[in-house]
Amino acid sequence: MGSSKENIKNFLGQIPLTAEVYWLLRQRGKPISRFSLKHLQAELPGLVKTAKNFRAGAEPGKKVFIFATLHYWIEHAALVGVALAARGHQVTLGYLPYSEWQNPINLFDLRRNNAYAKKVLSPAEEVMRVISLLQVKPDFRPMPDTLHSIVEKVTQYDSQYTMQVEEVDPAEDIYQLRWQRNEAVARVGYNLFHANRPDVVIVPNGSIQELGVIYRLARAMKIPVTTYEFGDQRDRIWLAQDGEVMRQETDGLWRACQDQPLSEHEITEVKELFRARQNGRVWQNFLRLWQDTPSSGGVAARAALKLDERPVVLLATNVLGDSLTLGRQVFTHTMSQWISRTVQYFAGRPDTQLVIRIHPGEVLTHGVSMMDVVHNVLPKLPENIHLIRPKDKVNTYDIVEIADLGLVYTTTVGLEMALGGLPVIVAGQTHYRGRGFTYDPDSWVAYLKQLGTILEDPAAHRLNPTQLEHAWRYAYRFFFSYPLPFPWHLVRCWEDYQEHPLDEVLSEQGWAKYGRTFDYLVGEPIDWRCELARPVEG
């Protein structure tokens, strides 16, 4: 019955105006399913009124194209677009009215979503252009190799992200769904950018889904593009210019700050942050806990895990499919392969003790667990290998306290271990790799050689004073300088907006705080030296 109903809806969706009239008469302009823009609908008229007042005296700016899909990104992108329009930029907001990325939607419901979004967004047309990419004519010619490669790469990432796996079968339903949607937006975007080339493209995330396609399309067409995302700090945003923001590229920041010593206050800030992380406390403007188990100390952890005096190696895993792990291979085929071969190595090293800390975030996932990866290699673990499951009430930092060596793929725990002076081997492409305080092999031979060398005398490989100082400098700058001031976090967008309404953000005082970040969004080069001189607010 369900399939028959979907077929009818797909048929009706091909008849002009059917979905739109149904939405208007039967739903009386209300959203369907999860695709709700109610917060934007309530605030947009006032936003536009404020923007018009500021825009009247603004200098003409750039041609800016902002793209979003999914209701929460559309709401946020619209808010950002109105703010940029108020500063004089010629903004086009392009959107796709999908409520979910991983489930199919029939054409009838999609068009109803579109009619609803168009109605909600209509007030914004007084200050910017708003277009649904559903209504842009696609390019039906054979795809150029560049577009084909873009669609293939993003679809691969989408499948990994959705199924939380590393090996993807193109025959899977999710792969086919994501290919269809990614190809469609690639064809539409290709025509759109050829017909009206923007000065800059702004897109959230930029790694996965249609967002990743538009980002890569802009890069391929040599259009400057800014990607943005949010971490766990309020009043802060991550930005990347001509790069994927989820790669957390910090080269420019590190060049500007690596020779700058930290003040006593800055050192104290890092200590306080990590003390909060270790003890499961929310701190300052950070939004979440990193541990749900209070610290009981290294001695207690050693006793609980029955560890003896042999060297302790802590391997901290990532969650499969997380945006911070996609495409981060350096010398391994997959993260799972790295874990498998590492476990095999330590099975032959009874003179050491390997503690594998499965990421606590796995309790929220449905994909392959790293526990399965370990047990596939060794169904029965030898006495020198210990597995800490996601739900186990063990504080990761207690293990760090007694560890002699850290092994990581991309997790930030590697940076935290370095702060304690531990030698850390980094297997994946993470933001702190190559900063001078970790071991960064680029081949299996180098990895296994470094493992063996360090295990011969772990104490001799602890960070020297210069390396330790660099680790602390980097940690401070990554957590306190890399996230730039921004008034509206995605997760609490409309709560933040109540605290920082548009007229306040556009005021002289508000612009002094946030203005440079908005300028960076539209492509003005990020001035890290200027950002380093900015006072850090908690």
pLDDT at residue 350, rounded to an integer = 97
Helix axes 465-480, 264-279, angle to 10 degrees: 80
Cβ–Cβ under 8 Å, residues 114 and 142 = no
- Per-residue burial over 200-209, b if 16 or more Cβ lie within 10 Å, else e, is bbbbbbbbbb
Tokens in use for 507?
């005021």
- Rounded-to-integer distance, Cα 4 and Cα 10, Å: 10
Q: What is the DSSP letter of 18?
A: H
Q: If you count DSSP H runs as helices and E runs as strands, how many of each does the chain have, helices first?
A: 21, 12
Domain spans of the chain? 2-251, 262-480
Strands 90-96 and 225-229, sheet pairing: unpaired
Quickly count: other Cβ atoms within 10 Å of residue 530's Cβ: 10
Tell me what pLDDT residue 286 has. 45
Place of tokens 């000065």: 199
Element (H, E) at 375: helix 370-377
Closest CA to 175 of 161, 195, 190, 158: 158
| Beta strand ranges found along 321-466 (DSSP E) | 353-357, 385-388, 405-408, 424-426
Say which CATH topology domain 262-480 has: Rossmann fold (3.40.50)
**Which structure tokens are listed for 474?**
């980097």
What pLDDT is stored for residue 438 in this prediction? 98
**Across the strands, what pairs with 406?**
314, 424
| Cβ atoms < 10 Å from Cβ of 317 | 28
Spatial separation of the C-alpha atoms in residues 242 and 215, rounded to whole Å: 8
The pLDDT of residue 290 is 46
Global pTM exceeds 0.85: yes
- For residue 216, the model assigns a pLDDT of 97
- Are the C-beta atoms of residues 95 and 77 closer than 8 Å to each other? yes
pLDDT at 328: 93
Do 321 and 160 contact (CB within 8 A), yes or no? yes
* CA–CA distances in Å: residue 233 to residues 229, 253, 264: 11, 19, 23
Q: Which residues contact 537 (CB under 8 A, 6 or more apart)?
A: 235, 485
The distance between the two most distant Cα atoms of the chain, rounded to a whole number of Å, is 76
- Size (the chain), residues: 538
First-to-last C-alpha distance (Å) of the chain: 56
pLDDT of residue 279: 72
What is the pLDDT, as a whole number, of residue 509?
A: 97
Helix (H, G, I), strand (E, B) or coil at 313: strand
Residue 16: the pLDDT is: 58
Rg of the chain (C-alpha set): 25
Residues 296, 506: Cα–Cα separation, whole Å: 48
The set of residues, in sequence order, having a beta carbon less than 8 Å from that of 77 and lying 6+ positions away, is 66, 67, 68, 93, 95, 202, 204
Instruction: Encode the chain (538 residues) as per-residue pLDDT tens digits.
Output: 456 666 555 554 565 556 556 556 566 666 777 899 999 999 999 999 999 999 998 999 999 999 999 999 999 999 999 999 999 999 999 999 999 999 999 888 898 899 899 999 999 999 999 999 998 887 777 778 899 999 999 999 999 999 988 989 999 999 999 999 999 999 999 999 999 999 999 999 999 999 999 999 999 999 999 999 999 889 999 999 999 999 999 999 999 999 999 999 999 999 988 888 777 554 454 444 445 566 778 899 999 999 999 999 999 999 877 777 889 999 999 999 999 999 999 999 999 999 999 988 887 777 778 899 999 999 999 999 999 998 888 888 899 999 999 999 999 999 999 999 999 999 999 999 999 999 999 999 999 999 999 999 999 999 999 999 999 999 999 999 999 999 999 999 999 999 999 999 999 999 999 999 999 999 999 999 989 887 766 5
State how far the Cα of 359 lies from the Cα of 405, in Å rounded to an integer.
18
Residues 6+ apart with CB under 8 A from 124: 44, 47, 48, 78, 81, 82, 93, 130
